[in-house]
């Protein structure tokens, strides 16, 4: 419902001022001062009147013969302000109707039409454990991909696998020396991690190993068959492992063009930078100086002629530009890599590549464990799989206990499926609950609190509404509410829900604009809260006459719809019962 537009239209008619000026001026005042307000102080000059006089005059004429738009109840002057009060039931009815009519399209828009957004996220390093740090980029990127998609942007989801570099030379060397075939089949990442750690230990004693590793990488870059085969095997096995976690999270990608994919495009990058006279020799390496950006030089080729992380990223931007002609090229990568991306983008800008400005690094903080209590399998890294497993197991315990207290049957497969959704939802919600640059302090208690600002709370609210709607269907209290009936929604609590519902588009828009899904997390958390407040004070199914019941059911249904779509945009899948 665009009540603000109604107000602006009214004001344009009354003042003759510019629509844009008035849109910027109308604001949401503190509670009790009306639903919208126009401060008249800035208008004093153009209208040549004191703010107070302007306010009195506008309030009077607004309430005059031409009348208020149907969405407004009254207008009042208060000092230098004009305060606007919505006609609450009309507003509520309008929002409910609009939400139900929108269905799955709630919050969608055309703004992204034809503007391709590339979202690069997850991007783990192959042969390494998939730890909780990679969960942040995976969850954040996945949510942003859905958000941009919902706003109509064609989205390309990319997994820039860390599948290249000197470390693979070392790994090949380690594999040829100490690799255990059986262990590799059984638990590939653990085995690769084991020989990698061993390599480093041995190399301390015997520095010649380092040279051997570099040799294998050089051979890999040159396309040697043996190296290529071993490397391909590491990559396939790793992906197979990662895929398990992706499936569990419901995450997918349009391509897995990792670092290796760009390696043969480096000569073209080098040529381009050379032609522009940007490449300089420094201690045998080839670098681009970035003094004017106050950045350290960006190394493009190492002294032994092999490529490096940054050069592969430069090649990737050029490739993506050719392949997709992107509107935005977004990197969801931890904040510690901010300098790396500033260098890469600066090199491109210096080379006069126009799309350098459309490359965006979206950083995020760290995950910390409040109580230090987390059993880990591999050294100090917490594996995402373990985190998800524990979340689901703990959720299962809670749900079973809740059901037993309610005297319900808690056995069976359905409970497991519900616990899976809720447990994973709880993890996702925890990552997306606050601004992404803040560190996350992880606590089981907080994240599984069914009364807290958590996924279980939101999901439980959804399931509760679905249960009401099921009961309504069972007792034949269905049928669509007419517009007339919806006007019966005149409680202040119903108006609060409608105001919150009305904010869906704004929440998704802001989430996209700032690359901050937490606007949506906050939105659905608040929606669940205002709904429960209402639900705890009023009955839905025994509200009295059938018209009122139908109206309230319609309100419930619109809340459920916003919760379902809102959580989906975060990457959370609701459960129909809990
Ligand atoms: N593989 C890297 C890591 O795990 C992240 C890759 C980020 N993306 C990029 N285009 N550099 O730290």
Q: What is the pLDDT of residues 129-145, one digit of tens each?
A: 898 888 999 999 999 99
Q: Is 345 in the pocket of ligand 1 (CB under 6 A)?
A: no
Which residues on neighbouring strands pair with residue 442, listed in sequence order? 369
Q: Is 122 in the pocket of ligand 1 (CB under 6 A)?
A: no
The Cα 341–Cα 361 span in angstroms is: 7
Contact 158, 349 (CB under 8 A): no
The Cα 113–Cα 296 span in angstroms is: 38
What pLDDT sits at residue 377? 47
| Ligand 1, pocket-test mutation among 337, 340, 342, most atoms within 8 A of CB | 337
Contact 51, 44 (CB under 8 A): yes
Alpha carbon distances (Å) from 467 to 455, 464, 578: 18, 5, 9
How many angstroms is it from 193 CA to the middle of ligand 1? 18
| Count of Cβ atoms closer than 10 Å to residue 233 Cβ | 13
Q: Is 213 in the pocket of ligand 1 (CB under 6 A)?
A: no
Contact 74, 88 (CB under 8 A): no
Q: Is 363 in the pocket of ligand 1 (CB under 6 A)?
A: no
Query: In this structure, which residue's CA is closest to atom 11 in ligand 1?
Result: 313
List, in order, residues 6 or more apart from 7 with CB less than 8 Å away. Answer: 26, 36, 38, 69, 72, 84
Q: Is 333 in the pocket of ligand 1 (CB under 6 A)?
A: yes
- Provide the strand spans (E) within 303-417: 328-332, 359-362, 367-369
Q: Which atom of ligand 1 is nearest to the CA of 333?
A: 7
Q: Examine the residue annotation and report whether 131 is marked as an active-site residue of this protein.
A: yes
What pLDDT sits at residue 498? 96
Q: Examine the residue annotation and report whether 128 is marked as an active-site residue of this protein.
A: yes
Q: Is 124 in the pocket of ligand 1 (CB under 6 A)?
A: yes
Query: In this structure, which residue's CA is closest to atom 4 in ligand 1?
Result: 124
| Ligand 1, pocket-test mutation among 119, 120, 123, most atoms within 8 A of CB | 123
What pLDDT sits at residue 379? 54
The CA-CA-CA angle for residues 424, 519, 337, to 5°, reads 75
Cα dihedral sign, 529-531-532-534: positive
The Cα 222–Cα 443 span in angstroms is: 48
Instruction: Name the catalytic one among 42, 115, 128, 373.
Output: 128
In the predicted model, residues of the chain with pLDDT beneath 50 are 375-378
Instruction: Name the catalytic one among 115, 134, 350, 373.
Output: 134
If DSSP codes are grouped into helix, strand and coil, which group holds residue 75? strand
Instruction: Name the catalytic one among 45, 115, 131, 286.
Output: 131
Query: In this structure, which residue's CA is closest to atom 5 in ligand 1?
Result: 123
Q: Examine the residue annotation and report whether 134 is marked as an active-site residue of this protein.
A: yes
| Ligand 1, pocket-test mutation among 131, 163, 333, most atoms within 8 A of CB | 333
CA 375 from centre of chain: 28
The Cα 123–Cα 118 span in angstroms is: 14
Q: Is 160 in the pocket of ligand 1 (CB under 6 A)?
A: yes
What pLDDT sits at residue 410? 80
Q: Is 313 in the pocket of ligand 1 (CB under 6 A)?
A: yes
Q: Is 125 in the pocket of ligand 1 (CB under 6 A)?
A: yes
Tell me yes or no: is domain 3-86 CATH 3.40.190.10.
no
How many angstroms is it from 313 CA to the middle of ligand 1? 9
Q: Is 34 in the pocket of ligand 1 (CB under 6 A)?
A: no
What pLDDT sits at residue 374? 54
The CA-CA-CA angle for residues 61, 67, 72, to 5°, reads 100
Order of all β-strands in the sheet with 279-282? 279-282, 285-288, 298-301
- Provide the strand spans (E) within 183-284: 279-282
Which residues on neighbouring strands pair with residue 330, listed in sequence order? 119, 360
Q: Beta strand 285-288 with 279-282: parallel, antiparallel or unpaired?
A: antiparallel
Query: Model pTM?
Result: 0.90
């Amino acid at each position: 419902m665009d009540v603000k537009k109604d107000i602006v239209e009214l004001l344009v008619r009354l003042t003759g001022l510019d629509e844009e000026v008035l849109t910027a001026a109308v604001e949401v005042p503190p509670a009790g001062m009306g639903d919208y307000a126009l401060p008249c102080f800035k208008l004093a000059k153009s209208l040549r009147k004191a703010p107070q006089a302007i306010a009195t005059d506008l309030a009077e004429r607004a309430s005059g013969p031409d009348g208020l738009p149907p969405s407004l109840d009254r207008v009042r002057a208060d000092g230098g302000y004009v305060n606007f009060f919505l006609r609450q039931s009309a507003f509520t009815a309008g929002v409910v109707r609009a939400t139900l009519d929108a269905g799955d399209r709630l919050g969608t828009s055309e703004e992204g039409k034809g503007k391709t957004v590339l979202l690069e996220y997850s991007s783990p390093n192959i042969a390494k454990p998939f730890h909780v740090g990679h969960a942040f980029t995976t969850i954040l990127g996945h949510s942003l991909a859905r958000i941009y998609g919902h706003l109509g942007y064609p989205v390309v989801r990319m997994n820039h696998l860390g599948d290249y570099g000197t470390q693979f030379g070392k790994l090949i060397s380690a594999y040829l020396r100490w690799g255990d075939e059986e262990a590799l089949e059984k638990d590939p990442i653990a085995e690769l991690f084991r020989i990698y750690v061993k390599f480093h230990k041995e190399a301390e004693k015997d520095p010649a190993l380092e040279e051997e590793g570099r040799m294998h990488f050089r051979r890999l870059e040159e396309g040697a068959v043996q190296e290529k085969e071993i490397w391909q095997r590491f990559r396939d096995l790793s992906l197979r492992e990662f895929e398990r976690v992706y499936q569990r999270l419901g995450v997918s990608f349009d391509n897995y063009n990792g670092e290796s994919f760009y390696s043969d495009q480096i000569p073209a990058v080098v040529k381009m930078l050379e032609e522009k006279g940007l490449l300089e020799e420094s201690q045998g390496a080839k670098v681009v100086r970035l003094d004017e950006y106050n950045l350290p030089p960006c190394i493009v080729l190492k002294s032994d002629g092999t490529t490096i992380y940054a050069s592969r990223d430069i090649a990737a931007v050029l490739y993506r530009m050719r392949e997709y002609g992107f509107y935005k090229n977004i990197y969801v990568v931890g904040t510690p890599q901010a300098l790396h991306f500033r260098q890469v983008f600066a090199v491109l800008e210096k080379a006069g590549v126009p799309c350098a400005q459309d490359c965006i690094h979206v950083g995020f903080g760290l995950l910390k464990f409040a109580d230090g209590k987390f059993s880990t399998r591999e050294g100090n890294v917490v594996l995402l799989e373990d985190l998800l497993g524990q979340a689901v197991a703990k959720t299962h315990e809670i749900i079973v206990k809740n059901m037993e207290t309610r005297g319900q049957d808690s056995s069976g497969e359905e409970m497991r499926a519900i616990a899976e959704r809720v447990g994973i939802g709880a993890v996702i919600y925890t990552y997306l609950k606050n601004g992404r640059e803040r560190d996350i302090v992880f606590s089981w208690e907080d994240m599984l609190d069914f009364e807290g600002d958590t996924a279980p709370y939101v999901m439980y609210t959804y399931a509760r509404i679905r249960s009401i709607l099921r009961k309504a269907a069972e007792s034949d209290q269905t049928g669509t509410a007419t517009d007339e009936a919806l006007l019966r929604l005149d409680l202040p609590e119903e108006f609060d829900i409608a105001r919150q519902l009305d904010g869906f588009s704004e929440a998704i828009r802001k989430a996209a604009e700032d690359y901050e899904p937490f606007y949506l997390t906050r939105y659905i958390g608040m929606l669940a809260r205002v709904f429960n407040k209402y639900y705890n004070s009023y009955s839905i199914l025994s509200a009295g006459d059938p018209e009122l019941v139908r109206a309230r059911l319609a309100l419930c249904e619109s809340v459920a719809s916003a919760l379902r779509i809102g959580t989906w945009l975060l990457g959370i899948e609701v459960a129909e019962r809990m």
